């Protein structure tokens, strides 16, 4: 359990965490890698969601998953890019959370993931929650905590 | 100014934020892009520091800066990779902080940067501070705040 005050302050604008699906660049699992390389090069995000035709989340794709197919014994070889598809190289382990999500879960998962994929009950892609959005709320908490609350050392607290 | 309590709790293990230079993959500004592509593909970090021969920080390099040189009118063309160097494509705007750094500055800069480069007074590269490390401390604060402190609404607080 996390502190109720922290939960309240970080969660007060909770919906603002979500970057909605239509604002997030994505690729289709059936796209060839030359197309995906173009998309990832241009959007500049390190990793983007992979969707099927019905907007279900299927995986995550980064540039390194694509460039890894180009490392040959005789240097950089792009010849596989027109043959392989996103499905061939994507990471299918996707850190997902469901709405309504809770702050404790978000904080915990974002230690090891730069962003979380939000899905509905039918696994449809709803958007992402990024460390960036949470960092904005942490700044808010850092500035406002001792304005909104009186904070005093707990006399009964024993540091373990 | 941020809350003294937040500063204390997030800063209590402040040195643990720094990932020291010898643990951070880097490339040299004189490396050719085919070498840099290999490094970035294998380390899987989205962006890594670029150093000169004396360990001064010169820029940041991501895979998309390299793959951008491969986008030709006739498809993906890696022929420039053996001719161009890291210095030709790197981003020279590096978000740096100096030791001793303060928590407020780190929290603020990490909204827009996934990591910060730490340098000493001679611009020598000392390491990086990542959102991941700060997220660990935010989790600590979220769990411990109301154990270590008594937190009560401030009766004089007026929300603007």
Window from A93-107, B53-67, B136-150 with minimum mean pLDDT: A93-107
Quickly state the pLDDT bin for B142 (edges 50, 70, 90): very high
How many Cβ contacts (< 8 angstroms) between chains A and B?
A: 165
Quickly state the pLDDT bin for B33 (edges 50, 70, 90): very high
CA distance A82 to chain B (A): 9
Q: Does domain B4-147 have CATH number 3.40.50.300?
A: no
CA distance B32 to chain A (A): 12
Question: Which pLDDT belongs to residue A15?
Answer: 65
Q: Is the peptide bond before A119 cis (omega within 30 degrees of 0)?
A: no
Q: How far is CA A126 from the centre of its chain?
A: 12
Question: Which pLDDT belongs to residue B74?
Answer: 85
Contact B154 A152 (CB under 8 A): no
Q: Which two structure tokens, joined as six digits, stand for A116?
A: 């979380």
Q: How many CB atoms lie within 10 A of CB A65?
A: 21
Q: What residue ranges of chain A have pLDDT lower than 50? A: none
Q: Does residue A78 belong to the interface with chain B, where contact is any CB pair within 8 Å?
A: yes
The arithmetic mean of pLDDT across residues B130-153, rounded, is: 94
CA distance A6 to chain B (A): 6
C-alpha dihedral (A69, A72, A76, A79), degrees to nearest 10: -60
pLDDT at B14 over 70: no
A3 by Cβ neighbours in 10 Å (0-12 / 13-18 / 19+) ranks as: buried
Nearest to B107 among A6, A78, A138 (CB): A138
Q: Which two structure tokens, joined as six digits, stand for B122?
A: 């001679």
Question: Which pLDDT belongs to residue A14?
Answer: 59
| Set of chain B residues whose Cβ sits within 8 Å of the Cβ of A46 | 46-47, 62
Q: Which residue of A has its CA nearest to B68?
A: A41
ipTM for the predicted complex comes to 0.89
Question: Which pLDDT belongs to residue A58?
Answer: 96
pLDDT at B16 over 80: no
Question: Which pLDDT belongs to residue B156?
Answer: 86
| Set of chain B residues whose Cβ sits within 8 Å of the Cβ of A75 | 34, 78, 82
Q: Does domain A4-146 have CATH number 3.10.580.10?
A: yes
CA distance A21 to chain B (A): 21
pLDDT in tens, B83-119: 999 999 999 999 999 987 789 999 999 999 999 999 9
Quickly state the pLDDT bin for B15 (edges 50, 70, 90): low
Contact B141 A75 (CB under 8 A): no
| Set of chain B residues whose Cβ sits within 8 Å of the Cβ of A107 | 135, 138-139, 142
Q: Which residues of A6-16 are buried (b: 16+ CB within 10 A; e: fewer)?
A: bbebbbeebee
Question: Which pLDDT belongs to residue A52?
Answer: 96
Nearest to A154 among B76, B82, B147 (CB): B147
CA distance B57 to chain A (A): 22
Enumerate residues 96 to 155 of chain B having a beta carbon within 8 A of any beta carbon in chain A.
Answer: 103-104, 107-108, 110-112, 114, 131-132, 134-136, 138-139, 141-154
Q: Does residue A44 belong to the interface with chain B, where contact is any CB pair within 8 Å?
A: yes
What residue ranges do the domains of chain A occupy? 4-146
């Amino acid at each position: 359990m996390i502190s109720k005050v922290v939960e309240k302050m970080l969660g007060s604008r909770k919906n603002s965490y979500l970057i909605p699906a239509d604002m997030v660049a994505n690729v289709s699992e059936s796209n060839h890698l030359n197309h995906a390389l173009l998309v990832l090069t241009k959007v500049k995000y390190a990793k983007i969601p992979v969707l099927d035709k019905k907007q279900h989340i299927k995986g995550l794709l980064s540039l390194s998953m694509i460039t890894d197919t180009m490392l040959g014994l005789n240097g950089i070889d792009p010849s596989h890019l027109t043959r392989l598809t996103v499905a061939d190289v994507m990471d299918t382990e996707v850190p997902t959370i469901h709405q309504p999500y809770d702050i404790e879960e978000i904080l915990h998962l974002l230690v090891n993931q730069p962003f979380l994929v939000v899905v509905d009950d039918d696994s449809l892609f709803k958007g992402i929650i990024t460390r960036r959005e949470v960092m904005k709320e942490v700044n808010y908490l850092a500035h406002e905590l001792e304005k909104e609350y009186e904070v005093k050392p707990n006399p009964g607290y024993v540091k373990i």
